[in-house]
Structure 1
Amino acid sequence: MTAANDDPHGGGPHHDDLRYVYAVCRPLAAPLAADLTGVGGEPPRQLVHGDLVALVGPVPERDFAEKPLRAHLEDLDWLSGTARAHQHVIDALTTVTCPLPLRLATVFRDDSGVRAMLEDGAERFQRVLERIDGRVEWGVKVHMENPAGDESAGPGAEAEPQRNGAVSGRDYLRRRRSRRTAQEENWQRAEAFARGLHERLAERADDSRLHAPQNSELSRAPGRNVLNAAYLVPRTHSEEFVELVDRTKDDEHGTSGLRVELTGPWAAYSFTGDAGDAGDADGASDEEDTSA
């Protein structure tokens, strides 16, 4: 690959390659790792347009043109591998700047399509980049694991009194109601804990987002998701934020079976507004939102 490009130290795309765009950012103050690779094992390069930079990489048209891309997005193995490669580049970029990550599989026909995106969205991009400058995203989830009185514990818990004949039908129904009451009380305490935790963390963040609870069957995380939140935190305050989360992990307000999960630091995915909604000016493919 010898075609000219904006980065004199990177390789250029082949003439029939499309442009995969990972993120938009401001000019980098430090270089990316020389051995960094992304989707398809190709190294990303910087495409500069005015005061904005798009981090792009070449991808083959046979996989990323509109029709084959839509088919690939139904292939979980392909999708998972592409998402890992995409995230690998975003993680590397986040170590040297505060990028605005674009959606998975944001693809353009050529460099001119990428430049048109940067030109058309310049105002929005600059506004978002200003908001997230010097900041990273931390994710906090609270899960309620095996709450007391949960009828999901299994049919044996209800069947046992009937098998040994030691409990009357009336006592059996009373115990069943008692379990349901205990389950509801534990859930209310868990929600109260989650609300209090979110309020304390939001006070220490520049911005926060409450996402819909995760479906445990899809996320494969044990327990019931009570809180699923993101916090925009200055890099310089991240250590204090993490310490605050760690301190609250043991503060469960009398509610047993809670698990507090901290993830990050990430690029500010939850705080980019509509800035990632750029279209494909030249119709190479529609960008697809495959986020969970």
Structure 2
Amino acid sequence: MNTPGTLTYVYAVTRPTDRLREALAGLHGIGQEPARLLAPAATSASSAATSGSGPTPLAFVAGDVPARDFNETSLKEHFEDLHWLEYVARTHHDVVQSVAAHAPVLPLRMATVYQDDQRARQALADQHDGFAERLDQLHAHTEYGVKIYLDPTAGPPPPADAPTTQHASTTPGKAYLRARRAQHHAREAVHRQAQQAAEAIEAIAARHTTRRVRHAPQRGALTGPQENILNDAYLVPDDQADRFQSAIAEAARDFPDLRIEVTGPWAPYSFAMPPTDPAGPDDAPEPPP
């Protein structure tokens, strides 16, 4: 039940269990509001037609948020506020990760909101089959990220006053061009290493993962002085997670001029792809893993 002046914010879809209900008892979301489970108001006609004992129970993980901050007009303004976005994204992520520790979870995009609990429940009932199918596909799987960074010290730019001690007759201009060529060749060698590393990672993934999503390389403050040239997400069966991480770590030793990083485990953000929700803003970003 919503409190006056609030909307229903939905973090994820899950399968309700007693263990999860106990965990949610101490879980708080945006604005320190308690998180709660919302079961569907009714079962969709297509779900009712399925065989067996009935449709698989599902629930939204939800919480109240102030309508003044999450109505359509306010959201458009808030999406220009990086501090607000960071807080909401981080809190959304923390709630999803907490649920994932206790039950299967299908993360929803940030700022998925409904006018009230009743409309959220009805939306869950209407989209039950799509959510249930996706949860089945993600069962006993976890997301891991693999990133490749170029070493910032590989192939540094030559100084303007490149030394000429080895060739006394060489002019400063020719020495500079020679150093530039050396730098270019060094960079090419590092990029070849990166290509080989990517191929090695793909071979490992073929043995230990079920799906891959290729994200755009990260830029700016997210990478610091290093250059991120590969930013992939993998869906890994839980019984393969240790082997996958160990194999990546072993492969990384063959590429000393690169930094190969494995992140996770994460809730399967990159593989959730829930049905489009017209109640939420189309350009709402997903919480970053």
Counterpart secondary structure, 1:158: coil
Q: Hey, what does 1:154 align to over in structure 2?
A: none
CA distance in 2, matches of 1:187, 1:278: 41
From 169, 175, 196, give the equivalent of 1:192: 196
Q: Hey, what does 2:160 align to over in structure 1?
A: 159
- 1:22 aligned onto 2:23: no
From 247, 250, 253, give the equivalent of 1:250: 253
Bigger shift: residues 232-241 or 164-173: 164-173
Measured after TM superposition, the shift of residue 123 of structure 1 is: 2.2
- C-alpha spacing 1:183/1:192, structure 2 compared with 1 (3 Å): same
Measured after TM superposition, the shift of residue 210 of structure 1 is: 1.9
Aligned length: 267
Measured after TM superposition, the shift of residue 286 of structure 1 is: 2.8
CA distance in 2, matches of 1:266, 1:276: 21
Amino acid at match of 2:128: A
Amino acid at match of 1:289: A
- CA deviation profile, 1:183-203 (whole Å, cap 9, x unmatched): 112212222112212321232
Identify unmatched segments of 5+ residues in structure 2.
44-56
CA distance in 1, matches of 2:284, 2:195: 30
Q: CA RMSD in A?
A: 2.2
- CA deviation profile, 1:198-239 (whole Å, cap 9, x unmatched): 321232012222222222x14234311122111111223322
Q: Hey, what does 1:134 align to over in structure 2?
A: 140
CA distance in 2, matches of 1:213, 1:226: 5
Amino acid at match of 2:262: L
Whether contact under 8 Å (2:200, 2:251) holds in the other structure is no
- 1:99 aligned onto 2:129: no
Matches within 5 A, 1:56-135: 56-135=62-141
Q: What's the TM-score once normalised by structure 1's chain length?
A: 0.84
Q: Hey, what does 1:271 align to over in structure 2?
A: 271
Amino acid at match of 2:277: A
Whether contact under 8 Å (2:148, 2:231) holds in the other structure is yes
Bigger shift: residues 101-110 or 183-192: 183-192
- 1:214 aligned onto 2:203: no
CA distance in 2, matches of 1:146, 1:113: 52
Q: Hey, what does 2:181 align to over in structure 1?
A: 177
CA distance in 1, matches of 2:24, 2:243: 28
Identify unmatched segments of 5+ residues in structure 1.
1-11, 152-156
CA distance in 2, matches of 1:75, 1:170: 50
Whether contact under 8 Å (1:136, 1:234) holds in the other structure is yes
Whether contact under 8 Å (1:211, 1:229) holds in the other structure is yes
Q: Hey, what does 2:38 align to over in structure 1?
A: 47
From 245, 270, 281, give the equivalent of 1:286: 281
CA distance in 1, matches of 2:147, 2:29: 29
Bigger shift: residues 138-147 or 51-60: 138-147
CA distance in 1, matches of 2:266, 2:242: 14
- CA deviation profile, 1:132-176 (whole Å, cap 9, x unmatched): 01111011111111253243xxxxx33123899964133332332
Amino acid at match of 1:25: T
Measured after TM superposition, the shift of residue 75 of structure 1 is: 1.1
Q: Hey, what does 1:13 align to over in structure 2?
A: 2
Q: What's the TM-score once normalised by structure 2's chain length?
A: 0.84
Counterpart secondary structure, 2:159: helix
Amino acid at match of 1:231: Y
Counterpart secondary structure, 2:278: coil
- C-alpha spacing 1:38/1:71, structure 2 compared with 1 (3 Å): same
CA distance in 2, matches of 1:198, 1:221: 26
Counterpart secondary structure, 1:19: strand
Whether contact under 8 Å (1:141, 1:228) holds in the other structure is yes
Measured after TM superposition, the shift of residue 268 of structure 1 is: 0.7
Q: Hey, what does 2:237 align to over in structure 1?
A: 234
